């Protein structure tokens, strides 16, 4: 793990100052066809996560409590050898929207080295975050603006889309 990874430093130093630019960028992306964005997002997402290692970061696991559906609760409690009711009591709470979420940040299953203790059984929300893969990219454009504040990968994915727009997509 490299705590000083440049991609995270760049995000930390630039993110706030580029919010207006990214808002405009998302407005431009909304005018593009979902099909084109989906094809491009497939490459941009994979290239980004090939280049950047989430183990350098873990900001989502540190700061955003993931949502858990009933299937997640059953799968994780089974994996931990707990009753699902005990798992709910020990690890979850209801948020302001009535959804079940982990009850602590950083996540109780986050290890010091940024690995996840329940990786194979992690909640669906953790598997899907940050929603930049393929069709999800075009479906969640406004969400990417919010997530760019928390996730350096989303920040860099939007940056790449800015370059693609300049190249004339
Ligand atoms: S998904 Fe984003 S916030 Fe989470 S660890 Fe990876 S880069 Fe960091
Ligand atoms: S369950 Fe694992 S992947 Fe999900 S927030 Fe917790 S540590 Fe991160």
Q: Looking at the CA of residue 152, tell me the nearest atom of ligand 1.
A: 7
Of 123, 129, 151, the residue with max ligand 2 atoms within 8 A of its CB, to mutate for a pocket test, comes to 123
pLDDT at 60: 98
Atom of ligand 2 nearest to the CA of 58: 8
Q: Provide the CB-side half-sphere exposure for 133 (13 A, CA).
A: 7
29 closest CA partner among 149, 129, 132: 132
No. of H helices and E strands in the chain?
Answer: 10, 2
What DSSP string runs through 4-40? T-HHHHHHHHHTGGGHHHHHHHHHHHHTS-HHHHHHH
Distance 69 CA to ligand 1 centre (A): 21
> What six digits make up the tokens of 131?
């929603």
Model's pTM, two decimal places? 0.93
Expressed in percent and rounded to 5, the helix, strand and coil fractions of the chain are 60, 5, 35
Give the percent of the chain with pLDDT over 90.
Answer: 95
pLDDT digits (tens, 9 = 90+) for 33-62: 999 999 999 999 999 999 999 999 999 999
Q: What is the pLDDT of residue 5?
A: 82
- Identify the nearest ligand to the CA of 129 by its number: 1
């Amino acid at each position: 793990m490299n705590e000083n990874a440049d991609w995270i430093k760049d995000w930390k130093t630039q993110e706030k100052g580029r919010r207006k630019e990214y808002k405009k960028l998302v407005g431009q992306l909304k005018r593009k066809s979902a099909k084109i964005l989906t094809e491009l997002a497939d490459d941009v997402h994979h290239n980004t996560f090939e280049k950047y290692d989430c183990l350098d970061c873990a900001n989502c696991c540190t700061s955003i409590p993931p949502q858990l559906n009933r299937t997640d609760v059953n799968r994780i409690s089974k994996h931990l050898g707990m009753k699902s009711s005990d798992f709910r009591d020990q690890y979850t709470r209801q948020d302001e929207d009535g959804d079940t979420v982990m009850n602590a940040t950083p996540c109780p299953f986050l290890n010091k080295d940024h690995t996840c203790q329940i990786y194979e059984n992690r909640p669906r929300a953790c598997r899907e975050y940050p929603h930049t893969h393929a069709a999800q990219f075009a479906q969640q454009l406004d969400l990417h603006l919010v997530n760019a504040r928390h996730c350096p990968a989303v920040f860099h994915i939007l940056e790449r889309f800015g370059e693609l727009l300049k190249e004339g997509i």
